[in-house]
Structure 1
Amino acid sequence: MRLTRSSLLRCLALVVWLSQVVPPLSAYEIVDVQHGGTLEGRVTLSGAVPDPKAFNLITFPDPTYCGRISNGKGWRLLRDFIVNSESGLKNAVVLLEGVESGKPFDLSVPLIEARDCMFGPWMTIVRNGHAVEVVNMDPVMHDIQGYETSPEAGARVLFNTPLILNQQHQRGNMHAIHNHAPGKSLVGPVYLNKGRRTFYMQCGFHAYMESWAMAVNNPYYAVTDDQGAFKIDNVPPGTYQMVVWHPQAGPGVTRTITVGPDGMTVEHVALPAPRGTRTAYRVMDNPRFGLESLGHPVEIEPLVEHQH
């Protein structure tokens, strides 16, 4: 299991928080919403944007291919905080709790791609017990590990399955672009234990590949865009708990709001940036971790993205 101690503590804090603010799951009824309202707003990050996590590529398999996205010095950066110039925070989840009936769910199966040794999207919304599909777009093998967390039992493995390399990719061609068919698909249901709402997915071979998901019990949710904006429409008029959460920004915020009929409700939320040292993964100038430490030539060129 590759969860770091700090990541696990964040997960445990999240589960404790959700157990306090989220009621037990109940059956959701689809009805024709009369005079539905709209909730929109913006989520910002309050405080300095944390540095990205850094992973030395020579300590993981496939450094040449995965290094197509790197800083040019053999390090892959994982930007788990994406913030624009006005502090808008991307990939925050906004959801309404307490909506027992309303518009239908989007029944499509969420798709997560392994592409250029990254999972995308980084944040996914799922329904508990429904399927998630993972496909490999890369000419290298990935190992898909999924975990849910509990303050009593710790992290529990949901699945651990190899994702075979994509034979459609032009193997050996570091300049190849992704204009090919995806590799073999991994499709399976995600059953979270009662009261658990999130799971974390990581590649067992490439630790810098991670993805998060939250399970919802109604379709009134949104994931913020690159401006930090969100919009949830056709909300049945009423009073609900609005939950705002980002997996790296602490336990999140919950707020009681009232959505009126045929109108617009605007809510802006600031999530605090973590302080201090949040990860042991950072770029270091150390010859023991340099390319020359392998004893043989290794070319790592950021052909897809030169990270800064």
Structure 2
Amino acid sequence: MGFGMEGWTVKSHTRLKRVRARALAVISFLVIGMGAGAAVAYDVIEVAHGGTVEGVVRLEGTVPDPKGFNLITFPDPAYCGRISNGRGWRLLRDFVVSQDAGLKDAIVLLEGVEAGKSFETSVPLIEARDCMFQPFMTIVRNGHAVEVINMDPVMHDIQGYETSPEAGARTLFNTPLVMNHQHHRGDIHAIHNHAPGKSLVGPVYLNKGRRTFYMQCGFHAYMESWAMAVNNPYYALTDSTGAFKIDNIPPGTYQLVVWHPQTGPGLTKMVTVQADGTVKEQLSLQAPKGNRSAYKVMDNPRFGPESLGHSIDIQPLVEHQH
């Protein structure tokens, strides 16, 4: 199975207007009609003499520049601009790479494990905070729920797409994520007191052959988050150094999958785990080349705040991006 994905972007103001109109209707987050993606059965057993797979995932090639988004082309530029470069641009850093090329937020998982250690079933939480989805990468058990909650004093519009390299993207859900009406923005220069707005909770059913879904805010295109549905608990997300560790693995031979949403098809290889043994892997994913975004950061008065014809105060009060 390939794991290459291509992200979706909001490509026109016309589309944003249509999204705003749809946001007036309350749409259930429950995703229905996708029973073909039923979860693979997994049995919990006591693992005797389990093994470990550990190592590092590195990015091979030049680290791509962050994507740039001109804040005046999106709603709430002053509030969302509290994280910006100080010149009216919001940067999306979808590659976090350490000094020795360790890649953060790559998923490493083992395919083919049908029975083993207990499978955590808690509902993953994705927060919209400071006009950013956190975390950038989420793991959800196949067919189980995911929760999205708004911590900002502005409305967001959640658009979710399941993805596959063969069939592209297919809409999973499109629903407004409203703010708490008691949640006041207050002084934009003050430290914002985040309070939760309405929470959206529902199961995610992916079509057969699809394992990932992508979420973006229809109002603020620089807000994006990725998730992968897994069939067993033998997975890990790489840390800030690119390191990962998967333990208590039943002895056997499995397919090791390494994937990051922006690096193409990812990597697959077979690994054999011995009883009480440790498999150490040095893995790499290829950095994409060329222009990845229709948006390019530039200092041009025609695209700056002054082009609006009125004063707007966009200051990076939370984070001055570079």
- Asked if these proteins are the same fold (TM beyond 0.5), I'd say yes
Is the deviation greater in 165-174 or in 185-194?
165-174
Contact 1:115 1:136 in 2 (8 A): yes
CA separation in 2, counterparts of 1:59 and 1:200? Answer: 22
Residue 234 (structure 1) aligned with residue 248 (structure 2): yes
Cα distance change on mapping 1:278 and 1:196 into 2, 3 Å? same
What runs of 5+ residues in structure 2 fail to find an aligned partner? Answer: 1-6, 12-37
| Secondary structure, aligned partner of 1:292 | helix
Whether 2:198 is the aligned partner of 1:184: answer yes
Say which of 285, 288, 291 aligns to 1:277. 291
Q: Quick one: which of 265, 268, 284 aligns to 1:251? A: 265
SS at match of 2:302: helix
Which sections of structure 1, spanning at least 5 residues, go unmatched?
7-23
CA contact (8 A) 2:87 2:299 kept: no
Letter in 1 for 2:126: I
Give the Cα separation in 1 of the matches to 2:269 and 2:293. Answer: 29
Matching residue within 248, 266, 287 for 2:280: 266
Which amino acid is 1:45 matched to? L
Contact 1:168 1:180 in 2 (8 A): no
Instruction: Find the counterpart in structure 1 of residue 300 from structure 2.
Output: 286
Give distance in 2, aligned partners of 1:240 and 1:91: 22
Identity %: 76
State the distance in 2 between where 1:168 and 1:91 align.
34
Give the Å deviation of 1:77.
Answer: 0.2
TM-aligned CA deviation for residue 279 of structure 1: 1.9
CA contact (8 A) 1:53 1:279 kept: yes
Q: 1:99 aligns with which of 99, 113, 118?
A: 113
Deviations 1:126-172 (A, max 9, x none): 12211100000000000000001245654211111100123454413
Query: How well do the aligned residues superpose, as a CA RMSD in angstroms?
Result: 1.8
Q: Name the structure 1 match of 2:78.
A: 64
Q: What does 1:1-308 align with in structure 2 at a 5 Å threshold?
A: 3-4=8-9, 26-150=40-164, 153-177=167-191, 179-308=193-322
Deviation at residue 5 of structure 1 after TM alignment: 10
SS in structure 1 at match of 2:78: helix
Q: Which runs of 4+ in 1 moved over 6 A?
A: none
Give the match for residue 19 of structure 1: none
* TM-score of the superposed pair, with normalisation by structure 2: 0.86
TM-score by length of 1: 0.90
Equivalent pairs counted in the alignment come to 290
Q: Deviations over 1:89-139 (max 9, x none)?
A: 001000000101001111110000000000000000112211100000000
Q: Deviations over 1:249-284 (max 9, x none)?
A: 110000111111112211110111111222222202
State the match for 1:10 in structure 2: none
User: Equivalent residue of 1:288, what SS?
Assistant: helix
- 1:16 alignment counterpart: none
**Secondary structure of 1:138 counterpart:** coil
